[in-house]
Amino acid sequence: MNKVLVFTIMASFCIFCTAQDITLPQPQKTGGKPLMEALSHRQTTREYSDRELDNQTLSDLLWAAYGFNREDKRTAPSANDKQEFILYAVLKSGVYVYDAKENTLIQKVKGDFRAATGKQDFVTVAPLNLVYVADLTKNDAGGASANVGFISQNVYLYCASAGLGTVVRGWYDKEEVKTALQLSATEEPVLIQTVGYKK
C-alpha cells in the first residue's frame, strides 16, 4: 500500500476520534538571550532527541513565530498586512492549528503524522514539525513565499535563544502533506520547520 493511501485511511478514520485541543499557558514575553547573542547561535540542526516540548515552550515558540504583539498585528510582518499564514503544528499526538488569539492548539487530526511532513529521518524523532500553510484566499503562493521567511526566522531566533534545535525544510511531498493535514483546496503548504532538543 502506498504512503499516501495509508495516510488517507488514517486521516479518514480519525475524523471520528474525539478532538483534544491543547490550551497553552500565556507566552513569556520577557527574558531569553539578548538579540546579538541569539543571532550568534542561529543555526540549522538535523540531529534531535525525542524529548517532548512542554506547553510553556510551545506557547513561547508559537507566539514568537506568529503571535499577536499588538491588537491585530503579529510578530512577523506580511506584505500589505495579508497575514495569510496558518500555522499547523504536527506533534506526536496529532495535527493542530495554532489559534494565536485564543492561545490554543486546535486539534484537527488525531494520530502521529510527523512522517508525512518530510523525507529526512529526523522528522519522526523531533517532537514538532511546523507546517506553514498559505491561505490562498488571502494571497497567492508566490506572494506568500516572501512572508513565510519572517516566520521561519522568528522560530530560528527563538530556538537559538531557548537552546533548541531547528531546521526549515523545503524538501517534502506536497500532496502527502496536504492529505495528512486534511488541507482544503485553498490551503497550500509553503515551508516546513522541525523543532526539538538537539541530540
Ligand X SMILES: Cc1cc2nc3c(=O)[nH]c(=O)nc-3n(C[C@H](O)[C@H](O)[C@H](O)COP(=O)(O)O)c2cc1C
| Spatial CA neighbour of 135 closest among 176, 96, 184, 85 | 85
Which positions from 57 through 76 interact with ligand X, judged by CB under 6 A?
none
Establish if 170 lies at the interface with ligand X (CB under 6 A). yes
Cα separation of 178 and 168, whole Å? 18
Rank residues 102 and 121 by Cβ distance to ligand X and give the closer one. Answer: 121
Residue 167 binds ligand X (CB under 6 A):
yes
- In the bound state, the residue with its beta carbon closest to ligand X is 171
Q: Which is nearer to ligand X, 8 or 145 (CB)?
A: 145
Closest CA to 114 of 132, 100, 129: 129
Residue list 40-59, contact with ligand X (CB under 6 A): 43-44, 46
Show Cβ contacts of residue 18 under 8 Å, excluding neighbours closer than 6 positions. Answer: 110
**Is residue 188 a contact partner of residue 84, using CB atoms and an 8 Å limit?**
no
Beta bridge partners of 144: none
Q: Which CB sits closer to ligand X, 40 or 44? A: 44
Residues 7-46 touching ligand X, rule: CB under 6 A, are 43-44, 46
Closer residue to ligand X in complex, CB, 43/184:
43
Task: Give the closest residue to 155 by CA, choosing from 119, 116, 195, 186.
Answer: 195
Give 3-state DSSP helix, strand, coil % of the chain, rounded to 5: 35, 25, 40
Binding mask 72-111 for ligand X (x = CB under 6 A): ----------------------------------------
Q: Interface with ligand X by CB under 6 A: which residues?
A: 43-44, 46, 120, 167-171
